[in-house]
Amino acid sequence: MKAAVCYEFGKPLVIEDVEIDQPQAGEVIVKTSACAICHSDIHRIRGDWGGQPPIIAGHEAAGVIADVGTGVSHFRVGDHVVVSLLRSCGRCFFCLIGRPYNCEGRFPQDERPRLRNKEGVILAQGLHTAAFAEFMVVDQSQVVVISPEMPLDRACLLACGVITGWGAVVNTARVEAGSGVVVIGAGGVGLNSVQGAALSGAVKIIAVDMLDHKLEAARGFGATHTINAGSQDPVAAVLSLTEGRGAEYAFITVGSSKAITQGAYMIRQGGIAVIVGMPSNQDANFSLNAHHLTYGRTVIGSPMGSTRLSVDIPRLVELYRQGRLKLDELISRRYPLDQINEAIESTERGEALRNVIIF
Amino acid sequence: MKAAVCYEFGKPLVIEDVEIDQPQAGEVIVKTSACAICHSDIHRIRGDWGGQPPIIAGHEAAGVIADVGTGVSHFRVGDHVVVSLLRSCGRCFFCLIGRPYNCEGRFPQDERPRLRNKEGVILAQGLHTAAFAEFMVVDQSQVVVISPEMPLDRACLLACGVITGWGAVVNTARVEAGSGVVVIGAGGVGLNSVQGAALSGAVKIIAVDMLDHKLEAARGFGATHTINAGSQDPVAAVLSLTEGRGAEYAFITVGSSKAITQGAYMIRQGGIAVIVGMPSNQDANFSLNAHHLTYGRTVIGSPMGSTRLSVDIPRLVELYRQGRLKLDELISRRYPLDQINEAIESTERGEALRNVIIF
């Protein structure tokens, strides 16, 4: 099969033929139909989170089940599925307390490599998925069946960007109708926090970004106010929009320690600041004044929207079917696999909400 | 009346005669029976939290109602009461959402000074109470009636140290039976977090302190494990006691940015670190790695145990009556008002759980 391999951090991906294993017990092979490019892929192939190349990235995917391993009972060849990096064993401490996104189980793909190039060099399976390839071998917990009527190029967005942004609002923070929300970053994740807040009935949705065209997009997704952080102090601007108290909730969807600190200062006493985006290792330390929190504020991390795939993906598909969840508007451009480097560069330049590779 | 006045930060208090106002509308005058010395008083009179002397500190008090202002209907002269610094208007945004401890109302004592020395110099009412004095003039929301059978020298402890430590566990974090808890700091507040956790049914209660005699006291209050942070790395020690995951909850009861960071690293994915103690202004900034939180950890501040006085004080009095809440054991020594400087120095040296001034 063809795949886009990262042989050196920061260099263009190499499109080449790659060998993929047969599925082990509990695994499925999915023929990739579409895979969006997420900033986490870029962090991964730029070396921002450590690790070693060669690696195949890509983790926001959808496709069709092509093969199943032993012990796979919920999926059949031909099923349309969303494929996510989230995997869960169903038996560990965290799975059993309803936090499958914190699963500490081990999987066949941890034990032995599943991808090799023609020379037999092992290719790491980036983010447990390696979706920049024509086929993926993943654990059955990473896939969710969707209706064949759901277009796969839009379905793939559900696998990461949508659940991360939407889930932070709906699952992690449980935003209630009538509340006031700030979303820092109006990109592929942030817009989904904006529409999550709108769907949850928030009455004040303040989007913060450095780029006016992203703020304009945020309005389309339900933002009631926008702040360009390049031209005003975003903390002061939020306070002035919220009677000086701050908002009930802030979602920091950009991976930046500065934005995390700003987000924490945008919430009122009793408010909740949610860390959604993952900063690079170099920028991961943020600082806060303890007195600010002592008055009853919360900072919480949202592990991929606290998503339970089999619960959340069907809900999102139904919201899309009802015309209430925007997905079409998230796609900036579609690319074939052999133009993936262009797609990545465009994403890196901040031009795109989501660029999608179509197989 | 006699009072202990701070004329210069860091200097001994001066015992002298002081003038106190009549109660305004909604206020009561309480004849002080007992007032414990809290580390917040020491922060206040050492200048750690800014402000200007002269000031009268003291805010962990109990006494007897001596006079009531107009519009006070729930209290009568002779009522035994606990007197706290927490005050709430009952009408503002935060009072109405069930967070009276975040009240943003204004009160008569904000409008005009209530205490003066013989030369007519205004004496600030420290922490809204000024309980290092024979009488206090406070808002009616700051007092809660208790049974005359409840000894006032123990009742005073409920006003701050107990509710702060216990409330962080019971109200802010809502610790559930069976869970694992770390308490950093085994002083007057920390011991109440320990006994709050024990009363809540926590099965693992790990106390962390630098002083062995405080750790010994923590065992008496329900700690199942103790860690002397002076002789071992407390984070590593907690991880090794919790299968490498960390505890469900950590309560940071010492006012130290380093302890806050340590507490955050002691909790498991999905766990909650609660900031209970207030660091000095100079030591208020703490730092954290965002990735650590991204896996679903929470850092939350507990504003004086998220206490609603009229809800929590009666519960605590009843727990004491049932023999389930330890108060007697919290009192290290009793002092008359004219030995208050000795009592403060002893507290400052870390010798005492609580030193109590008896009037």
Predicted confidence (pLDDT) at residue A141 exceeds the cutoff of 90: yes
pLDDT at A49: 83
Q: How far apart are CA B48 and CA B302, in angstroms?
A: 20
Q: What is the mean pLDDT of residues A112-129?
A: 93
- The pLDDT value recorded for residue A225 is 98
| Look-up of token digits 């199943």 | A68
Between CA A18 and CA A1 the distance in angstroms is 5
User: Whose structure tokens read 């994740």?
Assistant: A189
Question: Distance between terminal CA atoms of chain A?
Answer: 11
pLDDT value of residue A203: 97
Across the interface, whether the CB atoms of B298 and A299 are under 8 A apart is answered yes
Q: What is the mean pLDDT of chain A?
A: 96
Nearest Cβ partner of A298 from B270, B286, B300? B300
Query: What is the structure's pLDDT at B223?
Result: 98
Top residue of B300, B306, B307, B308 to mutate, by most chain A CBs within 10 Å, is B300
Q: Which residue has the tokens 């093969």?
A: A67
Return the residue of A nearest to B164 by Cα.
A294
Asked whether the predicted pLDDT for residue A108 surpasses 90, the reply is: no
Per-residue model confidence (pLDDT) at position B350: 82
For chain B, first and last CA: distance in Å?
A: 12
Chain A residues near any Cβ of chain B (below 8 Å):
93-94, 97, 99, 101-102, 172, 245, 257, 260, 269-270, 275, 278-279, 281, 284-303, 306
Q: Assess contact for A102 and A303: CB atoms under 8 A.
A: yes
pLDDT the model gives residue B280: 86
Please give the full DSSP string across A145-183, using - where no structure is assigned.
E--TTS-HHHHHHIIIIIHHHHHIIIIIS-PPTT-EEEE
Residues of A in contact with B287 (CB under 8 A): 285-288
Select the residue of B284, B285, B299 nearest A299 (Cβ to Cβ): B299
Q: What pLDDT, in 10s, does the model give residues A171-186?
A: 999 999 999 999 999 9
- Of B113, B106, B70, the C-alpha closest to B88 is B106
CB atoms within 10 A of CB B199: 17
DSSP A193: H
List CB contacts (< 8 A) between A257 and chain B: 290
Mutate to test the interface with B, among A286, A293, A304, A308 (most CBs of B within 10 A): A293
A contacts of B297 (beta carbons < 8 Å): 300-301
Residue of B nearest to A168 (CA): B296
Average the pLDDT over A79-85 and give the result: 98
Query: Tokens for A312?
Result: 């959340």
Give the pLDDT confidence score for residue A215 in this predicted structure.
97
Q: Do B269 and A102 touch (CB under 8 A)?
A: yes
Average pLDDT across each block of 10 residues of chain B; the chain has 359 residues. List them in order. 96 96 95 95 89 94 97 95 96 95 91 92 94 97 97 97 97 98 96 98 97 95 98 98 97 96 97 94 94 95 96 97 96 96 93 92
- List of chain B residues whose C-beta atoms are within 8 Å of the C-beta of residue A99: 269-270, 296
According to DSSP, residue B293 is labeled H
Q: Answer with the residue of higher pLDDT: B336 or A39.
A: B336
A102 contacts on B by Cβ (under 8 Å): 269-270, 295-296
**What's the gap in Å between the CA of B342 and the closest CA on chain A?**
29
pLDDT at position B49: 83
**β-strand pairing of A2-5 with A14-20:** antiparallel
Which residues of A fall within a CB distance of 8 Å from B295?
102, 301, 303
The count of CB pairs under 8 A between chains A and B is: 119
In tens, the pLDDT along A253-267 reads: 999 999 999 999 999
pLDDT of residue B352: 85
Picking from B255, B299, B303, the residue whose alpha carbon sits closest to that of residue B277 is B255
CA distance A260 to A249: 13
Distance from CA of A172 to the nearest CA of B (A): 8
Query: Cβ of B46: how many Cβ atoms within 10 Å?
Result: 15
Residues of B in contact with A273 (CB under 8 A): none
- Calpha distance B106→A298 (Å, rounded): 25
Please name the residue that has the structure tokens 């927490």: B86
Residue A351 has pLDDT above 90, yes or no: no
Does B288 contact A288 at a Cβ distance shorter than 8 Å? yes
Contact A286 B285 (CB under 8 A): no
Note the pLDDT of residue A59.
Answer: 96
Is B118 in contact with B17 (CB distance < 8 Å)? yes
Write out the residues of chain B at the interface with chain A, using a CB-CB cutoff of 8 A: 93-94, 97, 99, 101-102, 172, 245, 257, 260, 269-270, 275, 278-279, 281, 284-303, 306
Please report the beta strands in B216-301, taking only residues with DSSP state E, as ranges in sequence order: 225-228, 247-252, 267-275, 285-289, 298-301
DSSP B359: -
- Examine residue B54 and say whether the peptide bond preceding it is cis (omega within 30 degrees of 0): yes
Average pLDDT over residues A289-312: 96
The residues, any chain, with a CB within 8 Å of residue B229's CB and separated by 6 or more, are B184, B208, B209, B210, B262
Residues 6+ away with beta carbon under 8 Å from A101: A86, A88, A94, A303, A304, A306, A307, A308, B296
pLDDT at residue B268, rounded to an integer? 97
Q: How many CB atoms lie within 10 A of CB B281?
A: 14
Structure tokens that stand for A30 in this block = 């999915």
Contact (Cβ atoms closer than 8 angstroms) between residue A267 and residue A246: yes
Alpha carbon A128 to chain centroid, angstroms? 14
Nearest-CA residue of chain A relative to B306?
A296
Q: Does A60 score more than 90 pLDDT?
A: yes
HSE, CB side, 13 Å, CA atoms: give it for residue A353. Answer: 26
- Mean pLDDT for A22-46 is 94
Residues 6 or more apart whose CB falls under 8 angstroms from that of B324 comprise: B199
How much is the pLDDT for B329?
A: 95
pLDDT of A51 above 90? no
Rounded-to-integer distance, Cα A350 and Cα A72, Å: 40
How far CA B132 is from CA of A180, A308, B3, B121, B144, in Å, comes to: 42, 55, 6, 17, 19
A-chain residues within 8 Å CB-CB of B303? 269, 294-296
Q: Do B289 and A292 touch (CB under 8 A)?
A: no
d(CA B253, CA B221): 15
Residue B50 pLDDT: 85
Q: How confident is the model at residue A227 (pLDDT cuts 50, 70, 90)?
A: very high
Which pLDDT score, from 0 to 100, does residue B308 have? 97
